[in-house]
């Protein structure tokens, strides 16, 4: 299996969406009460954080990232 480049933006975005899913899973099971509009700020905030993380990662690594190494 080929190794792939670590992408922290995807990790942040996926974690926020997973947290939203876990909140609503707890609501469905009756463990706690979650308002219906909670998913919107979690999803949008997670996507914004993922974008900022991706931009910061690209700025630190340089424009091309790992793609420059492929020759």
Count of domains forming the chain? 1
Q: Exposed e or buried b for every residue in 41-71, given b needs 16+ CB within 10 A?
A: ebeeebeeebeebbeeeeeeeeeeeeeeeee
Name the DSSP class of 30: T
Q: The whole model's pTM is what?
A: 0.76
CB-based contact 47:58 (threshold 8 Å): no
Name the pLDDT band for 39 (thresholds 50, 70, 90). confident
List pLDDT tens digits, range 14-30.
999 999 999 999 999 99
Domain holding 46, by residue range, is: 9-58
Structural tokens at position 69: 């190494």
| Residue 71 is assigned to a structural domain of this protein | no
User: Between vectors from CA 47 to CA 4 and to CA 21, what angle results, nearest 5°?
Assistant: 90
């Amino acid at each position: 299996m080929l190794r792939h480049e670590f992408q922290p933006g995807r990790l942040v975005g996926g974690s926020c969406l997973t947290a939203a899913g876990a909140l609503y899973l707890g609501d469905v099971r009756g463990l706690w009460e979650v308002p219906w509009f909670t998913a919107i700020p979690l999803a949008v905030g997670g996507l914004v954080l993922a974008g900022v993380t991706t931009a910061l990662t690209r700025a630190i690594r340089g424009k091309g990232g790992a793609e420059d190494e492929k020759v």
